[in-house]
Amino acid sequence: MSIVWDFVQDQLLGMKWLNELICKALSALGVDVTGRIGGSVQFFLYDVIKITVLLCFLIFLISYIQSYFPPERSKKILGRFHGIGANVIAALLGTVTPFCSCSSIPLFIGFTSAGLPLGVTFSFLISSPMVDLGSLLLLSSVFGWKIAVAYVIVGLVIAVVGGTLIEKLHMEKYVESFIKSVGTVDIESPTLSQKERLIYAKDQMLSTFKKVFPYILVGVGIGAVIHNWIPGQWIETVLGSGNPFGVVLATILGVPMYADIFGTIPVAEALLIKGAQLGTILSFMMAVTTLSLPSLIMLRKAVKPKLLALFIGICTVGMILVGYLFNVFHYLFI
């Protein structure tokens, strides 16, 4: 069984055969892959191709699943649950929406205007950009299944706890008035044929790929620079075990950036290789995907400053706690 899993991990998800093929091709062209420039080229080509292939496959699969859960049906599903159970369902529903933080906000507004509990909609808003089925498999291809599963679980926990806390604090009065007055139309979702679902999945894949691919290029480019040009001692000094504030620093640095999980993973991969701590890296990834400045600006249009500050505070504290927790127990995952 372990042999089969290792094959899946290394050859199907990790695509080590692709890395070896690129190495041989570059060497045949006279490129020294052991040098900084050649190593950067190899890292860049390997990660771009690997992430692109996995991205297209995963987004197609996720979009096909999502075709069974359009907004109208999602509202009805969430409306059947109450209490913390509703927050759990909302967080899980966020895992089948391959959206970045900005793309999740229109759905959050739609759910809120439809009358769903505010805490439930925030659980969805937190989990949607932070964790999805695609991130589970893509993280497995880079970090291994233990880290991937742990990342998804802690992301869901932050989403459920954050939404529940917002619900208990009764923050509804801090939602902008125009959100509450938006009229909703309760329309049954049309029944799609299998062909229509496949076409929908293909269109979503192409659309998402066009949006995400520039971030993949930037993320892999940054990862290649970190991997081959920045001394490991620097990374260890700033984000290693010697700096007790590394988690806080990584979280703060992640907020101004705007990328989704697919563009963030190459940077995280390079940081891990260079000696950054696991928890510090996970906090960085969560901050980049969930608390990007563009998404916060968009969210400010829908909620008042006090609720926005609470959302940022809950996410930030949760990410920092997760970072320190994983740094303490990193030996269980690596």
Structure tokens given for 262 = 């697919």
% of the chain exceeding 90 in pLDDT: 13
For residue 105, give every residue at least 6 positions away whose Cβ sits within 8 Å of its Cβ, in sequence order, or none. Answer: 125, 295, 298, 299, 302
Q: Which of these, 269, 288, 239, 281, lies nearest to 142 by C-alpha position?
A: 269
Domain boundaries, the chain: 36-181+194-332
Structure tokens given for 138 = 């893509």
- pLDDT at position 309 is 93
Reduced to 3 states, what is the DSSP secondary structure of residue 303? strand
Integer Cα distance of 159 and 162 in angstroms:
5
Q: What are the Cα distances from residue 273, in Å, to 48, 65, 131?
A: 18, 34, 23
Hey, how many other C-beta atoms are within 10 angstroms of the C-beta on 195? Answer: 8
- pLDDT at position 145 is 82
Residue 129 · residue 5 · CB < 8 Å: no
Q: Exposed, middle or buried, 273 (CB in 10 Å: 0-12/13-18/19+)?
A: middle
Structure tokens given for 39 = 């190593």
Integer Cα distance of 241 and 23 in angstroms:
33
- pLDDT at position 186 is 45
Integer Cα distance of 280 and 249 in angstroms:
9
Residue ranges in the chain modelled with pLDDT below 70: 1-11, 13-14, 66, 69-79, 96-103, 106, 114, 132-135, 178-190, 232, 236, 256-262, 294, 334
Q: How far does Cα 332 stand from its chain's mean position?
A: 22
Residue 89 · residue 78 · CB < 8 Å: yes
Reduced to 3 states, what is the DSSP secondary structure of residue 185? coil
pTM above 0.75, yes or no: no
- pLDDT at position 53 is 84
For residue 272, give every residue at least 6 positions away whose Cβ sits within 8 Å of its Cβ, in sequence order, or none. Answer: 143, 278, 281
Alpha-helical segments (H) within 170-292:
177-181, 194-229, 232-239, 246-254, 261-273, 278-290
The pLDDT tens digits for 1-45 are 666 656 666 667 667 888 889 999 999 999 888 888 898 899 889
Alpha-helical segments (H) within 114-176:
118-130, 133-143, 145-168
The pLDDT tens digits for 95-114 are 766 555 556 776 777 777 76
Q: How far does Cα 42 stand from its chain's mean position?
A: 25
